[in-house]
Amino acid sequence: MSTPAVTVIHFPGSLDHEAAARVMDEITGPGNGATIVSHRAAALPEGTAAVVLPGGFSYGDHLRCGAIASRAPIMDAVREFAERGGPVLGICNGFQILCESGLLPGVLRPNDTQAFICRQATLEIVDDSTPWTSGRSSGETLSVPIKHHDGAWQGDTAACRVVFRYRDGNPNGSQDAIAGIANHAGNVMGLMPHPEMACEELLGSADGRVVMGGLLPGSAVAA
User: Angle CA(65)–CA(209)–CA(47) in degrees, nearest 5?
Assistant: 75
**CB neighbour list of residue 158: distance below 8 Å, 6 or more residues apart:** none
Binding-site member from 116, 138, 139, 184 for another protein (CB under 8 A): 116
Binding-site member from 32, 41, 61, 110 for another protein (CB under 8 A): 61
For 17, 53, 54, 56, 58, the CA distances from 13, given in Å and listed in that order, are 10, 12, 10, 6, 4
Q: Which is nearer to another protein, 187 or 205 (CB)?
A: 205
Would you count residue 119 as binding another protein (CB under 8 A)? yes
Instruction: Please report how close the Cβ of residue 117 comes to another protein at its closest, in angstroms.
Output: 6
Would you count residue 60 as binding another protein (CB under 8 A)? yes
Q: Which is nearer to another protein, 12 or 173 (CB)?
A: 12
Separation of alpha carbons 223 and 220, rounded Å: 8
Binding-site member from 45, 149, 154, 175 for another protein (CB under 8 A): 149
Q: Which residues are catalytic?
A: 92, 194, 196
Which positions from 179 through 208 interact with another protein, judged by CB under 8 A?
194, 196-197, 199-200, 202-204
Q: Are 54 and 93 in contact (CB under 8 A)?
A: yes
Would you count residue 59 as binding another protein (CB under 8 A)? yes
Separation of alpha carbons 118 and 97, rounded Å: 20
Q: How many CB atoms lie within 10 A of CB 130?
A: 24
The helix or strand, by DSSP H or E, that contains position 167, with its residue range, turns out to be strand 161-167
Q: Which is nearer to another protein, 21 or 189 (CB)?
A: 21
Single-letter residue type at 172: N
Binding-site member from 6, 9, 19, 49 for another protein (CB under 8 A): 19
- Could you list the residues that contact another protein (CB under 8 A)? 12-13, 15-16, 18-19, 22-23, 55-57, 59-62, 115-119, 145, 147, 149, 194, 196-197, 199-200, 202-204
